[in-house]
Amino acid sequence: MEALLQSSRPLRADARRNREALLAAAREAFLTGEADAHVEEIARRAGVAVGTIYRHFETREALIEEVYRQEVDDLCAAPTELLNRHAPDEALRRFLLLLVEHSAVSKGMAVALESIMATDSPVFDDARTQMAQALDRLLEAGAAAGAIRGGVSGRTLLRALGGICGMRATEGWRDEAVRITAILFDGLRFGAQKAG
């Protein structure tokens, strides 16, 4: 009934191992394309039984959510870094490409981005908010510097990116994704130029 309280006390070594194995297996399962992988399948891949999933995660959805949250955590470290090293518009450009490249490398990431960005599922609320805030930071910095058109929210941009990053199935995907991302970026600069 009550799933493991992660904060209360540190997990025993084997329990932690199981938790990690489950997350890895779930990531793997989604990466293989089965965003609707069954719990039995995920448990099997992790080398545990289904019961163990329910010891670590409230429900199947909670497991999925955690997988996606971790992916997003990794990505959302980037903007701060990029803003330290580059001009705001360049930082934005690089972040957009980063998302595309990650999607190109990892189908799991692509599915994650699509799910997070292009849906309203409450399962991904946290991840979505985090991503939107990361983009907001970049957009606002760019707008403040007069390099990027203002008036576009991270959430909105996210939508478009979700559509783009979800494309991975089609032939020649990567190039097209890079191209349309560049178009979006040009559009964002174009507006600023007009305004300025």
Binding status of residue 11 toward DNA by CB under 7 A: yes
CA of residue 17 relative to chain centroid, distance: 24
Query: 69-128: which residues touch DNA (CB under 7 A)?
Result: none
Among its own copies, DNA, none, what binds residue 84 when CB lies within 5 to 8 Å by partner kind?
A: none
Cα separation of 100 and 160, whole Å? 12
Alpha helices, H only, the chain = 13-31, 39-46, 50-56, 60-75, 78-85, 88-105, 107-118, 125-144, 154-165, 173-195
Q: Is 60 in the site for DNA (CB under 7 A)?
A: yes
- Interaction of residue 159 with DNA, rule CB under 7 A: no
Q: Taking CB within 5 to 8 Å according to partner kind, which of DNA, its own copies, none is near residue 196? A: none
Compute the distance between CA of residue 36 and CA of residue 22 in angstroms, rounded to an integer: 15
Question: Whole-number minimum distance, CB 149 to its own copies, in Å?
Answer: 7
| Closest to DNA by CB, 56 or 137 | 56
Indicate the residue among 23 and 37 with the shorter CB distance to its own copies. Answer: 37
The backbone region for 146, taken as left when phi is positive above 0, alpha when psi lies in -120 to 50, beta otherwise, is left
- CA proximity to 117, closest of 90, 99, 91, 104: 99
For its own copies, the closer of residues 23 and 177 by Cβ is: 177
Least separation in angstroms between CB 81 and its own copies: 25
State which residue, 87 or 185, has the beta carbon closest to its own copies.
185
Under rule CB under 7 A, residue 7 binds DNA: no
Whose Cβ is closer to DNA: residue 40's or residue 73's? 40
The C-alpha atoms of residue 55 and residue 15 are separated, in whole angstroms, by: 9
- Pick what 86 binds: its own copies, DNA, none; C-beta below 5 to 8 Å, kind-dependent: none
